[in-house]
Amino acid sequence: MLIAYYMILGFKLVGHHGSVWRMTLSTSVRTYSLDPFPSGSRKTPAQVGKPEWISPSSGGVQRNLSAVAVPLQGQFRPLCRYDPLDLGDVDENTQKALACKHLRRFIVNPSLARIVTDHLAGDIDDGKAVIFECNPGPGVLTRSLLNRGAQRVVALESDANFLPELKDLEQKLEGQLDVVHCDFFKLDPIGHGSMKPPAMYSEKLFSDLAISEVPWSADVPVKIVGIFSQRNEKNIMWKLIYNLFERRSIFRYGRVELIMFISQKEYTKLVTRPRDYKNYQAFTVLWQMACDIELLHEEPLSSFLTVTKNSGRPSSKNTQSQSDNLCLVRITPREDLFNSHLTPLNGSTLVLMVKQCLAKRKSRLIEQINSWSPGSGSELISKLSFLDDTMTGDVYPDEFKRLFELMEQSGSFTQSWLYEETLETTNTGHA
């Protein structure tokens, strides 16, 4: 049995003297494909490594972190299956995170990293999507994902202070990890011309990673994992929803899924239902219309390290109470979002229509429609089976979509009714 175990690890038995076996490590070179999609052609030579011994006392615990990973079909298996990567401890990871000079939150506790990874177990086992990790910092979650058997992780790190250690980890693995100096939350800035990292265009990012566009009806090609910035969380999500309805930026490449920590305040708005006139906003309607939203986990804010701009010191004053939670949410664009009436070409028109309707959530929907096309309100209200006194804050997301489709079919509406009134409200931070 011992001989068989050594052979599994890649050792070649060449003989023995007395009762002592002498072993050499087979070093045949293999290649690992970095592109999970058929259209990709990028390949990287394998970095042959030397497996380290796992002591009998600790081997059981360490192997549990990675033994459940699905073997890579026709590819070199990750070294961490035999030698799980060290996740460090809270104090060590905290010291590394303090190198950051910007306002950011970090996962520094290995236990929290494993909780997040457990919620991604099905995604990792499925192995069809590339995992983009936003701002990994000291890389605690990065290592946890790799230990679990993630076939390809792309670490998008905006702070150059964390790049050397992440790059060092990249070199030690068999093509499972790509490290890119990039700020995911600032992808595709307004303007043209060359960009200096961490600013980047999504087209360059996906091209460099050899990730091709796939049809909207295809499987999810990329899963984005991370923590939304507390400084401009709402604005980032508005930018994403505009890009989603227009199939621009990351959504040009397919139904990119978000698995992100979001503040409890914004999560409440994200999932609230009609007639909650305080929280039911255009933001709510658009995300619910476009995506399936699933709460995976809630974690106290105190479990994260919050670093300030001031010399990377931990923050004692946050915009949220330490008793608040961050919510790990899976947001998956719907395969049936687009149709013959709602397309990426008129998606932004729908966004503006919803923003106008929800600007005053206790206004009558029929009056809003008549303001766009006089006399059309009663007909459309009747087709939607609404009462004349239905308020905009009472309408469900799928009903807003149906209203838009009816307007597109009627021929009585021109896009001028939107653009003339929204020139001053195009700031994506507006509700």
For 142-173, the pLDDT digits (tens) are 999 999 999 999 999 999 999 999 999 999 99
Q: What is the pLDDT of residue 416?
A: 55
Q: What is the pLDDT of residue 271?
A: 97
Q: What is the pLDDT of residue 317?
A: 52
Q: What's the Cα-to-Cα distance from 84 to each of 21, 32, 116, rounded to whole Å?
A: 26, 19, 17
Q: What is the pLDDT of residue 81?
A: 54
Cβ burial, residue 424 (10 Å; 0-12/13-18/19+): exposed
Predicted confidence band of residue 102 (pLDDT cuts 50, 70, 90): confident
pLDDT in tens, 124-147: 999 999 999 999 999 999 999 999
pLDDT in tens, 14-31: 443 333 333 333 333 333
Bridge pairing between strands 305-307 and 104-106: antiparallel
Find the mean pLDDT for residues 65-78.
Answer: 37
C-beta separation of 54 from 63 below 8 A: yes
Q: What is the pLDDT of residue 125?
A: 94
- The span from the CA of 319 to the CA of 24, in Å, is 58
Q: What is the pLDDT of residue 18?
A: 39
Q: Describe the chain by its helix, strand, coil percentages, rounded to 5.
A: 40, 15, 45
Nearest to 147, CA basis, from 249, 203, 68 = 68
Q: What is the pLDDT of residue 6?
A: 40
* pLDDT value at 414 more than 80: no
Is residue 157 marked as binding? yes
Greater confidence (26 vs 192) lies with: 192
User: pTM for this one?
Assistant: 0.78
Is residue 379 marked as binding? no
User: Which amino acid is it at 205?
Assistant: L
Q: What is the pLDDT of residue 198?
A: 93
Q: DSSP of 7-36, one letter per residue?
A: HHTTEEEEEEETTEEEEEE-----EEES--
**Cβ atoms within 10 Å, residue 418:** 19
Is residue 233 marked as binding? no
What percent of the chain has pLDDT above 90? 66
* pLDDT value at 207 more than 90: yes
DSSP assignment, residue 169?
Answer: H
Q: What is the pLDDT of residue 77?
A: 40
Q: What is the pLDDT of residue 245?
A: 98
C-beta separation of 143 from 87 below 8 A: yes
What percent of the chain has pLDDT above 70? 73
Q: What is the pLDDT of residue 60?
A: 33
- The span from the CA of 77 to the CA of 67, in Å, is 11
Q: Which 3 state secondary structure label does DSSP give 314?
A: strand
Nearest to 124, CA basis, from 161, 153, 165, 162 = 153
Find the mean pLDDT for residues 32-50.
Answer: 34
Q: Which 3 state secondary structure label does DSSP give 44?
A: strand
49 contact partners, CB below 8 Å, separation of at least 6: 79, 172, 174
* pLDDT value at 351 more than 70: yes
